[in-house]
Chain A
Amino acid sequence: MTFKFTSDGSQTALGWAATIECMGGSVGHTIGGKVTYPNTSNTPLSNVSINLKNSSGVVIGTTTTNASGDYAFTEVANGTYTLEVSTTKLWGGVTATDALLFKKHIANITLLSGIIWLVVISMEMVR
């Protein structure tokens, strides 16, 4: 956190106090959210790694999600960033039934929607 002192040039007499005000503009901000599996329960994904990259692609922060799937980067300065999520959790849950569902989608028999597509979530700005 940075404190900024400004003066109008006047001087206080001996025995007077000066007021020091914390200016919000230069304080960093928090990037946070939740990582979930796109099933009907939106099950949280814990222990998932998240890299924060600056506009040059350099990793400037790394964190992992907690048991509720939540993560946060604090004191992030204004700018453009990329959040990159990854996990070493094992592959699984895929069966011939999934292959059948994809096949029916390609053949235009029954179209899949929702969970197979990872829709980019609109950015929500909160104070």
Chain B
Amino acid sequence: MACGDINGNGSLTASDILMIKKRIGSIITTFPLGDWLFNNQNIIVNNENVTQNFNGIVYGDANASYSLTDNNYFDMERNKTTTTTSLSFDRGTFSEGKWIIPVRATAFSNLGSFQFTIQYDPSKLSFENIIHWFNGIEPAIVGNTEAGKITFVWTADNKGINIDEGILCNIVFKPISSEASKISWTNNPTGCEFSDFDANIFDVALKDGVIDELTETTVNSVENISIYPNPGNGIFRLYSFNSLDTKSCITIYNSLGKLVYNDNQVLLSQNCVNKIDLSMLCPGVYVIEIQTGNEKIIKKLIINK
């Protein structure tokens, strides 16, 4: 008997893990065999008293961290990392009638698993989907069974992922109202927990964010291309919210107007992240021009090392 054998087929399999993740993300609310596993026994009474002890464990609790006092989890069985990590929301980009909100992650070394819930105002925003996961994170399980809450659950495959400073993912919302609203972290229904690949728990500082009011200026400043992280250490990622048929020309100038980078064969397609390596350049302010057909986008690029 194993508490990970959720479907009771006699062994631990990937489908058991899928069910555990869905339960954590509140996508399912029950398990087929119930919530608790006890080692029930047959006993024989034969002219003597019998002592029979039992163990009981909740299904899925590999580290036996169930709390008997608050029916939640506690830290008794778990190690904590000493690293202080953080999660925050970058200011969103409004594009093609949708808000794109980047979730910024800092100082996650050897990331092995995470779960969390993000809360938004469902009277002002409608959740669409998650795009542009940090390289190696996809697929994560995302649930939106309750209006105003998005749950996330992910586990690494064969190694941890390092995110020194980067965008974990981007949340896409469709505005229902033009009013500003808050986006925040909550422990309900899925508590926030990040662990490294060795199952040590990160101490995560969570910072809430805001989604700007939609003004005429916001709506008109349509940006189809996003660059992150900016400022960054020289490795930039560029993604397009649309698929462009023609190749784009990317030109980068330094603050003196000198050409430092040029690539005229960049194909920007939706959900495809293009990497630009400018790590050989000195820290400073640069200008990036992205020309596609007759359209040109000019942006400031900052290298911090």
Contacts and interface: CB of A to CB of B under 8 A. Distances in A.
Given A85-B40, A95-B191, A100-B112, A118 B48 contact: no
Interface in A76-127: 76-87, 89-103, 105-107, 109, 112, 115-121, 123-127
Contact of A93 (B38, B45, B73): B73
A84 B155 CA distance: 35
Contacts of B31: 91
Contacts of A80: 42-45
A50 to B, nearest CB: 8
A38 interface: yes
Given A29-B45, A79-B45, A100-B155, A35 B53 contact: yes
A38 to B, nearest CB: 5
Contact of A40 (B2, B38, B77): B77
Contact of A123 (B50, B66, B153, B197): B50
A125 B38 CA distance: 21
Interface stretch (B16-24, B131-139, B246-254): B16-24
A115 B54 contact: no
B217 interface: no
A85 B56 contact: yes
Nearest to A35: B54
Interface residues of A, number: 62
A19 interface: no
A61 interface: no
A39 interface: yes
A34 B13 CA distance: 31
A26 to B, nearest CB: 10
B12 A105 contact: yes
Interface in A19-35: 25, 29-35
Nearest to B53: A33
Interface of B: 1-4, 12-14, 16-17, 20-21, 23-24, 31, 35-68, 71-74, 76-78, 112-115, 153-158, 191, 193, 195, 197, 199, 201
Interface of A: 25, 29-41, 43, 45, 48, 50, 76-87, 89-103, 105-107, 109, 112, 115-121, 123-127
